[in-house]
Structure 1
Amino acid sequence: MEERTRAYLRGRFRDYYRRTSIAPPPDASQREWGFIPWTEGPGTTMVRHRSLLELGALDEFLARKRPRHVYFSAGRYDDPSAGNMNRKGWRSSDLVFDLDADHLPGVSPTEDSYEEMLAVCKDALFRLLDILEDDFGFEDLTVVFSGGRGYHVHVRDDGVRELDREQRREIVDYVRGIDVEFDHLIEHETVGGTAGRSSPAHKRSLITDGGWSRRVHERLDAFVDELLELPEEDAMERLREFDGIGEGKARGALTAARNNREQIAAGNVDVHPAFYQLAGILAEDVLDAESAPIDEPVTTDTNRLIRLPGSLHGGTGLRVLRIDRNELADFEPLTDAVTEQFVGQEIRIDVTGIDDMPGESQDSAMISLGGDSFTITEGAQTVPEHVGVYLMARGHAEKEKE
Structure 2
Amino acid sequence: MARYFLPKGMRYSSLGERDTFYRLEFDFDQIKKWFKSSGRMGKVIFAAVIGRHTRIFPPKYKDDISTTILFDEYKNFNEISDFLLDFLPESLYYDRNLYEDGEIVGMEIAFDLDPENLICPLHGSLNEKMKRGQGLGFCETALNMVKNSAIKLYDELSKTFSHLGLVYSGRGFHIHIFDNDSFSWSYEKRKDLADTVLGKGFPIDEWVTSGGARLIRLPFSLHGMVSRIVYPLRIDELADFNPIEDPRSKPSFLKD
**Given the two structures, how large is their TM-score scaled by the length of structure 2?**
0.74
Runs of 5+ unmatched residues, structure 1? 3-7, 80-87, 178-286, 345-402
Q: Is the 8 A contact 2:219 2:231 kept in 1?
A: yes
Does the CA contact (< 8 Å) of 2:22 and 2:85 recur in 1?
yes
Q: Could you tell me which amino acid in structure 2 is paired with residue 31 of structure 1?
A: V
**Residue 120 of structure 2 contacts residue 141 of structure 2 at CA under 8 Å; is this kept in 1?**
no
| Structure (1 or 2) with the larger CA radius of gyration | 1
Q: 2 CA distance for matches of 1:295 and 1:327?
A: 24
Distance, in Å, in 2 between the alignment partners of 1:34 and 1:61 is 11
Aligned positions of 1:94-243 closer than 5 A: 94-106=108-120, 108=123, 110=129, 114-134=139-159, 136=160, 138-148=161-171, 150-177=172-199
CA contact (8 A) 1:91 1:162 kept: yes
Q: Which residue of structure 1 lines up, in the alignment, with residue 10 of structure 2?
A: none
**Residue aligning to 1:19:** 24
Q: Secondary structure at the match of 2:207?
A: helix
Alignment of 1:281-296 (within 5 A): 287=200, 291-296=201-206
CA distances 1:149-173 after superposition (whole Å, capped 9, x unpaired):
x111111111200001100011112
Q: Is the 8 A contact 2:151 2:235 kept in 1?
A: no
2:104 is aligned to 90
Q: Which structure carries more helix by proportion?
A: 1
3-state SS in 2 of match to 1:315: coil
Match of 2:89 among 48, 52, 67: 67
1:271 corresponds to which residue?
none
1:141 CA displacement: 1.3
Two-structure CA RMSD over aligned residues (Å): 2.8
Give the unaligned 5+ runs of structure 2: 3-12, 51-56
Q: What does residue 225 of structure 2 align with? A: 315
3-state SS, counterpart of residue 293 of structure 1: coil
Q: What is the CA-CA distance between 1:63 and the residue it aligns to? A: 4.2
Task: State the distance in 2 between where 1:42 and 1:77 align.
Answer: 27
Q: Contact (CA 8 Å) 2:112, 2:174: kept in 1 or not?
A: yes
Q: Counterpart amino acid of 2:44?
A: R
One-letter amino acid of the structure 2 residue matched with residue 315 of structure 1: M
Deviation at 1:35, TM superposition (A): 0.8
Q: Is the 8 A contact 1:98 1:299 kept in 2?
A: yes
Q: Could you tell me whether the CA contact under 8 Å between 2:44 and 2:94 is conserved in 1?
A: yes
Equivalent position of 2:251 in the other structure: 339
Q: Secondary structure at the match of 2:244?
A: helix
8 A contact 2:49–2:65 mirrored in 1: no
Q: CA deviation at 1:174?
A: 1.8
Q: Aligned-pair distance for 1:18?
A: 2.0
Q: Deviations over 1:220-252 (max 9, x none)?
A: xxxxxxxxxxxxxxxxxxxxxxxxxxxxxxxxx
Q: TM-score, normalised by structure 1?
A: 0.49
Query: 1 CA distance for matches of 2:226 and 2:86?
Result: 21
What corresponds to 2:53 in structure 1?
none
- CA 313–113 in structure 1, closer or farther in 2 if over 3 Å, else same: closer
Which structure 1 residue ranges, 4+ long, deviate > 6 Å from structure 2?
none
Offset from partner CA, 1:278-333 (integer Å, 9 cap, x none) = xxxxxxxxx5xxx3121100001166111111111121221111112221111101
Question: Structure 1 stretch 109-118 or stretch 16-25: which is displaced more?
Answer: 109-118
Mapped contact 1:34–1:72 kept (Cα < 8 A): yes
Q: Aligned partner of 1:118: which letter? A: L
| Residues 2-58 of structure 1 deviation map (CA, whole Å, 9 limit, x = unaligned) | 9xxxxx822211111222213233447522211123343795121126245376455
Relative distance call for 1:9 and 1:154 in structure 2 (3 A) is same
Indicate the SS of the match to 1:35: strand
2:43 aligns with: 30
* Residue-pair matches, total: 216
